[in-house]
Structure 1
Amino acid sequence: MDPSTLLITFLFFLAALLYASVGHGGASAYLAVMALLGVTPAEMRPTALILNILVAGVGTFKYIRAGRFSWSVFWPFALTSVPMAYLGGRIHLPVRYFELLLGVALLFAALRLLIKPGGEREGLHPFALGWALGIGAVLGFVSGLIGIGGGIFLSPILIFLGWAETRQVSGIAAAFIVVNSASGLFGLLQSHPPLPAAIPFWMVAVLAGGWIGAELGSRYLTAPWIRRALGVVLVVAALRVLVV
């Protein structure tokens, strides 16, 4: 294994650990690492989605087992996001201008999480089914188009709207990432994209990192820590789409 592949493998492990601790799959980090270290653009999207499914799948299992999940909140988002993620995955368009707007939105969400004053407002607002269906469709399309799972957007939305407790948000986001990543990957695979030869090593690395991170997030981390960690994750993702 060459030094570049070893470095990517190590960085993927760290990214999976951090992202899984807040219920995410890490696709934005994988895309950033691959872009910086010379993986071809054609290989980046399918690789990120495959690794995303593995890490978020581990997270979903652990968060559900720990009782950190809400089916009633999850299903409306998933219902509309899955077909839209497939559609987004089949589209091959330049997305640089969209990514610039995306980066600004992520930074705004991160600042809201990192500097938000006062205590938690979890579970204080009624769930709006119509809004959830619409938001799910938009997030699904964006997820498939860019090659991420969408949890990085869903998490702050759920927190800001007060539709789920912070610990439940992580579990919902993890499951949301699994179904969207799988749908987006299926759409993308219709064009038979290439995969890196090192992907088996990367899969093992993210599974290990994701298992450790999900264990920490589902059982040991407090709600304020999760909010701060999610804010940091959003900053990293924003820098990725704005700079890379």
Structure 2
Amino acid sequence: MQFDTESLILAALLLLAALLYSSVGHAGASGYLAAMALVGVSPAIMKPTALALNILVAVIAIFKFYRVGSFSWRIFIPLALTAIPLAYLGGKLSLPAHLYKPLVGVVLIYAAWRSFSTASGASSYEIRNPSVAILLISGGALGFLSGLTGVGGGIFLSPLLLFFRWAPVKVISGVAAAFILVNSIAGILGVMSASTQPQFHPALPLWSLVVVVGGYIGAEYGSKRLGNPAIQRLLALVLLVAGAKMIATA
């Protein structure tokens, strides 16, 4: 296990990302990618490492949100049916750095915007039931993007469900956690099928421990109340800087 200064600094950033993201049912991949981008970790290492960490935190988030009834099988199943195979396909694809970096940079900037714009929370609204066909199409598109970039897709799914008012906020968090888990598993299997030896960061065991701690605390808090607006705005700034750096160094 590697314990150099860079790895320890990243461990602290990953702990914060896991804590915040899990509080809203996410697993933190965009935060993990942002932290690794800030210190210049190779794209070949970023993707599988972020997906591995995502799986750990997503399991915890699902358990916490499902236990309090914040879940909908009716919404999740159609999304997962198309997301899983396409996340696997996206995971198999390995983009060159000059394409991967700007793509992830755009994803991080989008995540920054979503984190800032939702910091104040959402008010109650009337629920609209989505059609199965729309959910199947949405799941496939988001699944492919998640596997390709190394994010779980929750940063795209949650605002989609919220914008169209397809589920209550707490249910959205539970569905997003499950969606992230299946996408991350499919994505990392795709990475492994495309390479006999996928490259994980040497500090992955240490990082796994800290994201599990952060994910547990965040999911325990978030399954009972909304996230902290000030922390979300701070995270938005970090995501914005990391996204801009990825694009600038492409």
Q: Which TM-score band applies after superposition, normalised by the shorter structure? A: 0.7 to 0.9
For residues 150-229 of structure 1, the aligned pairs below 5 Å read: 150-190=153-193, 191=195, 192-219=197-224, 221-222=225-226, 225=227
Equivalences, count: 239
1:78 has 2:83 as partner? no
In structure 1, how many angstroms separate the alpha carbons of the residues matched to 2:187 and 2:88? 5
Q: What's the CA shift for 1:44? A: 1.1
For residues 69-148 of structure 1, the aligned pairs below 5 Å read: 69-93=71-95, 94-99=99-104, 102=107, 105-106=110-111, 109=114, 113=118, 119-121=123-125, 123-148=126-151
Q: What's the CA shift for 1:169? A: 0.7
Identical aligned residues as a percent: 44
Q: Deviations over 1:70-122 (max 9, x none)?
A: 11111111110010000001111223454465456546655654589x9422x
In structure 1, how many angstroms separate the alpha carbons of the residues matched to 2:16 and 2:117? 25
In structure 1, how many angstroms separate the alpha carbons of the residues matched to 2:160 and 2:237? 16
- Equivalent residue letter for 1:60: I
Whether contact under 8 Å (1:106, 1:235) holds in the other structure is: no
Whether contact under 8 Å (1:29, 1:240) holds in the other structure is: no
Whether contact under 8 Å (1:139, 1:150) holds in the other structure is: yes
Q: Extract structure 1 runs of 4+ deviating beyond 6 A.
A: 226-232
Match of 1:30 in 2: 32
In structure 2, how many angstroms separate the alpha carbons of the residues matched to 1:67 and 1:87? 32
In structure 2, how many angstroms separate the alpha carbons of the residues matched to 1:212 and 1:87? 33
Q: What's the CA shift for 1:134? A: 0.5
In structure 2, how many angstroms separate the alpha carbons of the residues matched to 1:235 and 1:53? 25
SS state of the match for residue 183, structure 2?
helix
Q: Deviations over 1:131-177 (max 9, x none)?
A: 11101100000000000100111001101111110011111000100
SS state of the match for residue 95, structure 1?
helix
Which residues of structure 2 form unaligned runs of 5+? none
Q: TM-score, normalization: structure 2?
A: 0.85
Match of 1:64 in 2: 66
Whether contact under 8 Å (2:30, 2:111) holds in the other structure is: no
Q: TM-score, normalization: structure 1?
A: 0.87
Q: What's the CA shift for 1:3? A: 1.6
Q: What's the CA shift for 1:204? A: 0.5
In structure 1, how many angstroms separate the alpha carbons of the residues matched to 2:230 and 2:66? 22
Deviates most, 230-239 or 56-65: 230-239
Deviates most, 70-79 or 107-116: 107-116
In structure 2, how many angstroms separate the alpha carbons of the residues matched to 1:166 and 1:199? 32
Query: Does the C-alpha gap of structure 1 residues 24 and 142 become closer, same or farther in structure 2, counting only changes over 3 Å?
Result: same
In structure 1, how many angstroms separate the alpha carbons of the residues matched to 2:35 and 2:146? 18
In structure 2, how many angstroms separate the alpha carbons of the residues matched to 1:232 and 1:78? 31
SS state of the match for residue 71, structure 2?
coil
For residues 43-54 of structure 1, the aligned pairs below 5 Å read: 43-54=45-56
Q: Quote the RMSD (CA, aligned, Å).
A: 2.5
- Equivalent residue letter for 1:120: S
Which residues of structure 1 form unaligned runs of 5+? none
In structure 2, how many angstroms separate the alpha carbons of the residues matched to 1:100 and 1:32? 9
